[in-house]
Amino acid sequence: MGADMSRTRSVYWQGVRAGAPFLLVVAPFGMLFGVVATEAGFSLIQTMAMTALVIAGAAQFASVQLLVDGAPVFVAILTGLAVNLRMVMYSASLTPHIGKAQTWHKVLMAYFMVDQSYGVSIEKYERSPEMPLADKVSFFFGVISAVAPFWYGFSLVGALLGSAIAPEYALDFAIPITFIAIIAPNLRSLPHLAASIVSVVVALALYWMPYNLWLMVAAVLAMITGAQVEKWLEARK
């Protein structure tokens, strides 16, 4: 029993170390959201409530920007949901690995399901499929233990400082770097590659659509493409 606990703790710290490099981009990413939200008219409480409840940077930015542009609230909400539809695919791909975890573990993991915790964890699980369930759960929580406090903390810093942060700092560099770092290592299969190509092509082709609706269309078509390619590969087998 003691040996199992010691191994689980070791795996937890492996997760912390694996998630730590993302702190370099999570910090400016969170700070930028705090700045954007307060400049859009959000109060400190509203900004932090959104950060804690949604805990999904891309969806938060998309929704806030739409509200700033005067889009109807329901469009902002739908856009946020569309951007976060990727979490459904994340959950589906994690189910074979952690689907038998305790319910309270799965509830917490669902809340902390963000791009960083998913990307680092699924790469570890696929590389080490023999990992015991307890170790997989521990690794996931290790990753998010490194990421979540920085997201909350630097969102608060950005909200408090607001326009005091000079535009010359260009904090928005963190957004594309974050997603490149997460996506690039996982573009190892045809379904992933096909979904990525479709999302890029559709997003660029439909960028003219109002209220960022191109995000919803690109996300849905990319997911359909990935699923269809995967079914096609299974049928060929």
* Nearest Cα residue to 136 out of 146, 151, 126: 126
pLDDT of residue 224: 87
What is the domain extent for residue 42?
A: 2-186
- If asked whether residues 138 and 225 sit together in one domain, one would say no
Q: Answer for the pair 165, 35: CB distance below 8 angstroms, yes or no.
A: yes
- If asked whether residues 29 and 86 sit together in one domain, one would say yes
- If asked whether residues 91 and 203 sit together in one domain, one would say no
Q: Answer for the pair 213, 79: CB distance below 8 angstroms, yes or no.
A: yes
Q: Cα angle at 219 between 215 and 223, to 5 degrees? A: 175
- If asked whether residues 144 and 213 sit together in one domain, one would say no
pLDDT bucket at 182, cuts 50 / 70 / 90:
low
pLDDT in tens, 29-85: 888 888 888 888 888 999 999 999 888 877 888 888 788 777 788 888 887 887 787
pLDDT of residue 140: 96
Q: Is 26 exposed, middle or buried (0-12, 13-18, 19+ CB in 10 A)?
A: buried
The answer for 212, left when phi > 0, alpha when psi is -120 to 50, beta otherwise, is left
Q: Answer for the pair 211, 78: CB distance below 8 angstroms, yes or no.
A: no
- Mean pLDDT (whole number) for 146-160: 91
- Of the two residues 93 and 134, the one the predictor is more confident about is 134
DSSP assignment of 13-56 equals HHHHHHHGGGHHHHHHHHHHHHHHHHHTT--HHHHHHHHHHH--
pLDDT of residue 217: 84
How many other C-beta atoms can be found within 10 angstroms of the C-beta atom of residue 176? Answer: 10
pLDDT in tens, 99-147: 999 999 999 999 999 988 998 999 899 888 889 999 999 999 999 998 9
- If asked whether residues 83 and 149 sit together in one domain, one would say yes
- If asked whether residues 11 and 105 sit together in one domain, one would say yes
pLDDT in tens, 199-222: 889 989 998 887 667 777 887 888
Q: Is the dihedral of CA 178, 220, 95, 228 positive or negative?
A: negative
- If asked whether residues 102 and 193 sit together in one domain, one would say no
167, 186, 205 - which closes a domain: 186
Phi, psi for 228 (deg, rounded to 5): -70, -40
Whole-angstrom distance, CA of residue 228 vs CA of residue 222: 10
- If asked whether residues 171 and 237 sit together in one domain, one would say no
- If asked whether residues 177 and 212 sit together in one domain, one would say no
pLDDT of residue 11: 93
Looking at the structure of the chain, the number of domains it has is 2
Beta strands in 98-224, from DSSP E residues, in sequence order: none
Q: Answer for the pair 79, 106: CB distance below 8 angstroms, yes or no.
A: no
How does the average pLDDT of the chain come out, rounded? Answer: 83
- If asked whether residues 138 and 182 sit together in one domain, one would say yes
